[in-house]
Structure 1
Amino acid sequence: MRAFFIIVCCLSIQTVVAGNRQSQITSLPFEMVGTYVVVTVHINTSTPLRFILDSGLSNTMITEVGPADSLSLHFSDKVRIKGLGAGRTVEALVSHGNTLEVGRMRFVNQTIHLLTEDLFNLSELTGYSINGLLGSDFFQDHVVQIDYNKRRITFYESSSFEVPRGYVAVPLTIRQQKMYTEVLVKQEHGKPRKATVLLDTGAELTAWLHLYGENELTLPGKTIYGYIGEGINGPITGHFGRIPGLYVGGWKLDRPVVSFPDSATIVDMLRDEAREGTLGSQALSRFHLIFDEPNALLYLKPNHRHRRPFNYNVAGMDMIKQSEAPFLPLIYHVREGSPAHKAGIQSGDLVVTANNMNGFSTDINLLRGLMDKPTHTPLRLTLLRNGLTIEATVLMKDELGD
């Protein structure tokens, strides 16, 4: 209890005990795809479009438009987009003065970026039709509650909002419409260290931290090196491993898997932003969240996911769901030295079955769930490679285990 008290004091938070009277404006449902929050959006007079809520992005970004989508935008400029990753230049067309409708909420005079090339493949990555990323404009001017249990987003008037009992208030710093806060990182060696992180509902990871600067963060004793994910400007590589704890608003996330990107893949961020990392959706989805951006506060308390173990890609292979025949999951990356690599699996293989689950009809997120859990029972795959059927057995050993 003493350690918890010390950590709470270090992070300058307070427990809210106010009443539960609230000035609700409206409420709308969302879908959970993995740990992404997906909402339906109308842009001007468009057909319904589906966007991932991305608090780490200043403006809304359209990444793909399908044959059945109808959308009218007027473009005034072209810009280069900077983000994480290395190896490519990204351009987007810019459209100003747009109206976005999400449920009964209307957001006027919105700036939208349209990628000139779909680099994210969000539909294939998630297995659902996704048109883009809904930026942090969504959080301006109102109090916004995200309830991952009920899968609802509720908007309140900022001026008269009263926080429900039991929430902890965490100060935010707002820069370029993005929200930052401090977390406490418990390391294997050395004292706990504060880190300023971006709150990013559009990053499907627990957190990433960089090892440079004044915070003296160190790698865990056991790490895996390889592909972490895809950034706007290219692949992100680095180490990932378990740390003893990550404290958000005084609440401990126990033994989370945290990524430590190579400096070359985060160089633009290091130059342009005063932060040490990102807190992603796999951490944020473990809390009831109330974003009070007008008053620079985040209110949170744990939900039923809070104590779930943190998993990672044990098998070491990444998949997308093909949108064209034969509509099977395509393995597009295999980490060198991983269990999948040792089993002979190659980039370009198609997954016919995984533990008798049909690759054609099974939600790709359920298939990924098989890859993310260490088990004593091998993962058995039937693969299609160059027209030939191949059987593979993957030993799901936890390389980050004690």
Structure 2
Amino acid sequence: MKKFKFFFFLCFCWLNSISAQNKFIFQNKKQSDKINFKLINNLMVIPVEVNGVELSFILDTGVSKPIIFNFLNVSDTLKIKNTETIYIRGLGDGEAIEALRSRNNIFKIGDAIKLRQDLYAVYGLDINFGPRLGIPIHGIIGLDLFKDFIVEINYAAKYLELHDPNTYKYRRCKNCEAFRLEFYNDKPYLNAHVKLREKKIPIKLLIDSGGSDSLWLFEDDSLGINSGDRFFNDFLGHGLSGSVYGKRGKVASFYLKSFELKKANVAYPDSTSIVFAKKIKDRNGSIAGNILKRFNVIMDYPNSLITLRKNSNFRERFSYNKSGIEIAHNGVRFVKEYEPAKYRTLGNEESSLNRNGVSVVLNRRYKMTLKPAYAIVELREGSPAHRAGLEKGDVILSVNGKSTHQLTLQQIMVMFYGNTGKLIKLKVERGNKVLGCSFKLESLL
């Protein structure tokens, strides 16, 4: 009997160990951790260590398994083993993409670690979102982190806190709104309302922290969900299966219970880009980063809850790109940079002496350095930039007299979201030619 009990005890411990390896666990006693993130184009970028290699991942509630963009030599650098080839697909009008599925990888996020993590490595430079954000992005992670913790996201201060669900205690919050989460294919949905042409319509939305837009709606005339006559056609984003195009407009109001966002941006993606997304029963669209960032959020997958509280971003004006161009980091280019003036004491060299017998000589030298190149990757037909003669592939050298090598991608893009009528002067490189052009930002809504 004693041997049987001892054997049972060993088996129980072994099963608990296996269970722990299949989920994220904390390596500290407080069973929580705080992690800073970068907010780039409304997307959260967090540090993730994969098999001992430090990487940057987008935190995306819309993905089930971690995806790594395979521009690394994954076999050597990340020591990926136990692989098999599969095909996955996401938003976009392209085909399913080839991916390498790998098991038993070690993931570490702050003080949280998981010892047996599946991941998918996808191929092709077009899959890498880094150039469109202007910083290195190595992958995407979502469900595996959210299902094991209660995650507090402070968009205003740019940090998140991970908590053990067994020890977490909610604080009373009079100014919060809580929503019941529904899950389909391991992805979270909530119910909200939108006002279109004076009609308030109930909608079910995917919570998509990996989308930089505000609100996406799937057109459905039977429900009164359509763009009406106030919209323009535009590039909406880049998904795993290619580019997504559609219509852009405004809604009269978007409601999350008592929270009302007036004149929020909305996009209506082309049906060809969302064929698989529309198969989810009763789904009407997505709520993405440009709305989520206006709240501090508690994501509680274990109890199927999301809690929202307005933050300092709540009243930020909804704007959109009025230029008609999208740019991305596209390799590097040589830039001539002048070094600072040098001051030195002369010996027997010919000079004009000052009262201290020291001559100041301006030694103006320059050096050639490699700097990021920013190229036009999308161009809306009929837009101000298009009418000014710009073309896809043009490399932008300066904006309003400021050299682009002194700016980040985000700083350049912000200029295109400015007030209607703002003058934009660009200098671009096309082949071996340097061209100048100018246009004014136009409102199409």
With the length of structure 1 as denominator, give the TM-score of the two structures. 0.89
Structure 1 residues 168 and 380: alpha-carbon distance in aligned structure 2, compared to 1, 3 A threshold: same
Task: Specify every segment of 5 or more residues in structure 1 that has no aligned partner in the other structure, as ranges.
Answer: 1-22
The structural deviation recorded for 1:116 is: 2.2
1:7 corresponds to which residue?
none
The code of the aligned residue for 1:352 comes to L
CA distance in 1, matches of 2:93, 2:281: 17
Q: Secondary structure at the match of 1:322?
A: strand
Counterpart amino acid of 1:279?
I
Alignment of structure 1 residues 143-182 onto 2, 5 Å: 143-164=150-171, 165=173, 166-182=175-191
| SS at 1:366 equivalent | helix
The alignment yields a C-alpha RMSD, in angstroms, of 1.9
Query: For residue 378 of structure 1, what is the amino acid of its counterpart?
Result: L
Q: Tell me the equivalent position of 1:57.
A: 63
Shift in alpha-carbon separation, 1:24–1:146, aligned structure 2, 3 A: farther
Residues 153, 86 of structure 1: alpha-carbon distance in 2 compared, 3 angstrom cutoff: same
Counterparts of 2:332 and 2:82, CA distance in 1: 31
Instruction: Pick closer, same or farther for the CA change 1:220–1:161 going to 2, 3 Å.
Output: farther
Letter paired with 1:323? G
- Identify the range of structure 1 (146-155 vs 161-170) with the bigger mean alpha-carbon deviation: 161-170
Q: Following the alignment from structure 1 to structure 2, what is the Cα–Cα distance between the partners of residues 292 and 281?
A: 18
Number of aligned residues: 376
1:356 is matched with which residue? 401
Question: Could you tell me how far apart the structure 2 residues matched to 1:238 and 1:30 are?
Answer: 30
Displacement of 1:218 in angstroms is: 2.1
Structure 1 window deviating more from structure 2 (193-202 vs 215-224): it is 215-224
Structure ID, larger Rg: 2
Equivalent of residue 243 in structure 2, options 210, 235, 238: 235
Cα distance in 2 for residues equivalent to 1:115 and 1:361: 32
Return the letter of the residue paired with 2:239.
Answer: G
Q: 1:2-401, aligned counterparts within 5 Å?
A: 25-45=32-52, 47-66=53-72, 70-164=77-171, 165=173, 166-189=175-198, 191-212=199-220, 215-272=223-280, 274-326=282-334, 327-400=372-445
Equivalent pair of 1:64/1:130 in contact (CA under 8 Å): no
Distance in 1 (alpha carbons) for counterparts of 2:165 and 2:96: 39
Aligned residues of 2:184 and 2:280 also touching (Cα < 8 A): no
Q: Distance in 2 between matches of 1:377 and 1:335?
A: 18
Q: What stretches of structure 2 of length at least 5 have no aligned partner?
A: 1-29, 335-371
Indicate if the aligned counterparts of 2:71 and 2:123 stay in contact, CA closer than 8 A. no
Using CA pairs under 8 Å that are at least 6 residues apart, name the structure with larger relative contact order, 1 or 2. Answer: 1
Q: Which moved more, 1:50-59 or 1:175-184?
A: 175-184
> What is the distance in 1 between the residues matched to 2:39 and 2:276?
30
SS at match of 1:323: strand
Residues 27-68 of structure 1: CA deviation (Å, up to 9, x unaligned) = 1111122211111111123x2111111110111100144479
Question: Offset of 1:86 from its aligned partner?
Answer: 0.8
- Equivalent-residue separation in structure 2 for 1:104 and 1:181 (angstroms): 30
Moved over 4 A (4+): 66-69
